């Protein structure tokens, strides 16, 4: 069922209607925040023009600012793990704007700058990525907001690298790992039920991922970079092992052999990262599998794989390769995030137009039925008039002729 996204809610400023002031403030089609009630105050621009502008311009909000403004929102945290619908997110945005706290001012500025529609789409995208529910994802997504923690982790990682064990026996490792994340308890049952009944962007249209050609070339390049990074690590930390096995260059050792070696020797494993490390090594294995078998991966799998590859190279403590992999991941993530957000804005604009066309189709169908009904009534009247004229002619003939038994 189609839903219109421009439906006016009751949570808008009523002050302007009451006193008639501020009618001409702001440019047409923009969204203002009332200084009295802190709710949205729309200007007089027509919805159709505003919709067209939003779709054509496709302004991309700054997601770093959005995360900073909403990361500690209680309303957002209650629905973050429940696949909330757009109406639930819009309610969070309205609540966040109330009050005089810095977070409220930040939220009002974001609404004023980008509008509720684009802000809702961005929040939905961040929620789908798990940014608000996973600190690790948030750190990788917005590293500038966690500089102090990253510096501390880097220092601890360098200290741990000096104590890495080197062993001489290697047996095949287990590459199978089934991951299942526990779901959190449900909250706000009514909002969740509404979100289940609403049609989300993911249900309407698959997210855009890398096309096949650049994806396969990327995997081949990543495999080569990872093999060289592993070999650099081996020369630094386990030269004796390389000499024993006759591994004289990076090309001598396939990537999966390195991951099997690291699994068996527990090279990087600690009590804290054991589960996550197994997950990371499986993703690294997938790089070689995708490159060899030409398997196409969707957007979610690609983002997870790139993140795990970057983490793996960081553990190898090979700064040159880590910088290169990190830059590739950031460019790909930023590009795909931008095009998907733009596509989402176009999708919403198309949905509105399709809904309008559907309404027009219903009206035209009703008009067609009315025309058909009117035509049938006119034809019935014509038939009745013919019947009357024939009967009149028959009666006249009976009167004019002698009695010959005419009825």
Can you tell me the distance from the alpha carbon of 187 to that of 78, in angstroms, rounded to the nearest whole number?
Answer: 6
Mean pLDDT on 33-60: 51
pLDDT on residue 300: 82
Is residue 406 helix, strand or coil?
coil
Cβ(6)–Cβ(87) below 8 Å:
no
Lowest mean pLDDT, pick from 201-210, 297-306, 323-332: 201-210
How many other β-carbons are positioned within 10 Å of the β-carbon of residue 245?
16
**Percent of the chain with pLDDT strictly greater than 70:** 68
Q: Is residue 184 pLDDT above 90, yes or no?
A: no
Could you give the CA distance from residue 140 to residue 395 in angstroms, rounded to a whole number?
Answer: 98
* pLDDT greater at residue 292 or residue 136: 292
pLDDT at 177: 37
pLDDT band at 149 (very low <50, low <70, confident <90, very high): low
According to the model, what pLDDT value does residue 182 have?
Answer: 37
Question: Is the confidence at residue 276, as pLDDT, over 50?
Answer: yes
Q: Which of 114-128, 176-190, 247-261, 263-277 has the lowest mean pLDDT?
A: 176-190
Higher pLDDT, 38 or 60: 60
2 pLDDT exceeds 90?
no
Q: Please report the pLDDT score of residue 205 as a whole number.
A: 52
Closest CA to 104 of 74, 139, 126: 74
**Residue 41: strand, helix, or coil:** strand
Phi, psi at 40, each rounded to 5°:
-65, 145
Radius of gyration of the chain (CA): 33
How far is 253 from 271, CA to CA, in rounded Å? 28
**309 Cβ neighbours under 8 A, 6+ residues apart:** 222, 226, 283, 284, 287, 325, 329
pLDDT at 152: 55
pLDDT exceeds 60 at position 166? no
| 0.75 exceeded by pTM | no
Question: What's the mean pLDDT in 64-73?
Answer: 86
Share of the chain above pLDDT 90, in %: 14
User: How far is the C-alpha of 389 from the C-alpha of 393, rounded, in Å?
Assistant: 6
Q: How much is the average pLDDT of 106-129?
A: 87
Q: Are 124 and 355 in contact (CB under 8 A)?
A: no
Q: Report the mean per-residue pLDDT for the chain.
A: 74
* 21 φ, ψ (degrees, to nearest 5): -100, 170
Q: Residue 40 in contact with residue 94, Cβ under 8 Å?
A: yes
Lowest mean pLDDT among 1-5, 87-91, 271-275, 350-354: 1-5
Rounded to whole angstroms, how far apart are CA atoms 301 and 283?
9
For residue 33, list its beta bridge partners. Answer: 40
Q: Give me the phi and psi of 365, to 5 degrees please.
A: -65, -40
**Measured between alpha carbons, how far is 51 from 78 in angstroms, rounded to an integer?**
31
Q: Is-contact 179 66, C-beta < 8 A?
A: no
What's 112's DSSP letter? H
The yes-or-no verdict on residue 331 having pLDDT over 70 is yes
Query: For residues 71 and 198, what is the distance between their CA atoms, to the nearest angstrom?
Result: 25
* Interatomic CA distance for residues 74 and 79, integer angstroms: 9
pLDDT band at 148 (very low <50, low <70, confident <90, very high): low
Query: Within 13 A of 225's CA, how many CA atoms are on the CB side?
Result: 24
DSSP string, 155-215: HHHHHHHTT----S---PPP------PPPPPP--HHHHHHHHHSPPHHHHSPPP---HHHH
Token pair listed for 243? 């000499």
Q: So where are the chain's domains? A: 63-144, 212-336
pLDDT digits (tens, 9 = 90+) for 361-400: 999 999 999 999 999 999 999 988 898 888 888 888 888 8
Q: Tell me: pLDDT of 143 over 70.
A: yes
**In the predicted model, what is the mean pLDDT of residues 260-288?**
75
Confidence band for 50, pLDDT divided at 50, 70 and 90:
very low
Q: Are 42 and 20 in contact (CB under 8 A)?
A: no
Rounded Cα distance, 83 and 192, in Å: 8
User: Residue 69 contacts by C-beta under 8 Å, 6 or more apart in sequence?
Assistant: 96, 103, 106, 107, 110
What average pLDDT does range 347-368 have in this prediction?
Answer: 91
Alpha-carbon torsion (42, 47, 50, 56), positive or negative:
positive
Rounded Cα distance between 183 and 193, Å, is 17
Please give the pLDDT value at position 251. Answer: 86
* pLDDT of amino acid 38: 53
DSSP conformational letter for 294: T
Residue 37 confidence (pLDDT)? 57
- Check residue 162 and give its pLDDT: 38
Q: Of 72 and 374, which is predicted with more confidence?
A: 374
| Residues in a beta bridge with 12 | 40
């Amino acid at each position: 069922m189609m839903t219109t996204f421009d439906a006016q809610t009751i949570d808008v400023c009523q002050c302007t209607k009451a006193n008639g002031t501020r009618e001409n403030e702001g440019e047409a089609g923009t969204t203002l925040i009332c200084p009295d009630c802190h709710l949205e105050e729309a200007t007089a621009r027509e919805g159709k023009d505003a919709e067209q502008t939003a779709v054509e311009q496709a302004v991309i909000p700054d997601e770093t600012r959005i995360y900073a403004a909403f990361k500690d929102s209680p309303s957002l945290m209650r629905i973050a793990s429940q696949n909330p619908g757009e109406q639930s997110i819009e309610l969070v945005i309205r609540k966040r704007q109330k009050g005089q706290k810095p977070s409220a001012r930040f939220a009002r500025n974001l609404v004023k700058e980008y509008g509720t529609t684009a802000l809702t789409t961005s929040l939905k995208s961040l929620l789908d990525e798990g940014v608000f529910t996973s600190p690790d994802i948030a750190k990788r997504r917005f590293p500038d907001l966690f500089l102090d923690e990253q510096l501390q982790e880097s220092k601890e990682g360098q200290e741990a690298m000096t104590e890495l064990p080197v062993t001489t026996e290697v047996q095949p490792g287990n590459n199978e790992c089934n991951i299942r994340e526990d779901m959190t308890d449900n909250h706000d049952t009514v909002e969740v039920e509404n979100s289940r009944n609403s049609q989300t962007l993911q249900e309407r249209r698959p997210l855009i991922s890398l096309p096949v050609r650049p994806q396969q070339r990327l995997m081949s390049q990543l495999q080569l970079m990872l093999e060289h990074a592993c070999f650099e690590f081996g020369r630094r930390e386990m030269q004796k092992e390389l000499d024993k096995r006759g591994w004289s260059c990076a090309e001598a050792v396939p990537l999966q052999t390195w991951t099997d070696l690291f699994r068996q020797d527990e090279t990087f494993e600690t009590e804290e990262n054991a589960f996550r490390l197994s997950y990371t090594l499986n993703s690294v294995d997938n790089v070689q599998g995708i490159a060899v078998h030409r398997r196409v991966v969707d957007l979610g799998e690609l983002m997870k794989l790139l993140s795990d590859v970057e983490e793996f190279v960081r553990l190898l403590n090979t700064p040159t390769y880590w910088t290169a992999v990190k830059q590739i991941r950031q460019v790909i993530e930023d590009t795909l995030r931008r095009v998907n957000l733009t596509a989402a804005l176009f999708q919403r604009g198309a949905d509105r137009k399709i809904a309008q066309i559907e309404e027009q189709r219903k009206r035209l169908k009703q008009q067609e039925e009315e025309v058909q009904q009117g035509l049938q009534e006119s034809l019935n009247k014509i038939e009745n008039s013919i019947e009357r004229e024939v009967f009149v002619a028959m009666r006249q003939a009976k009167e004019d002729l002698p009695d010959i038994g005419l009825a």
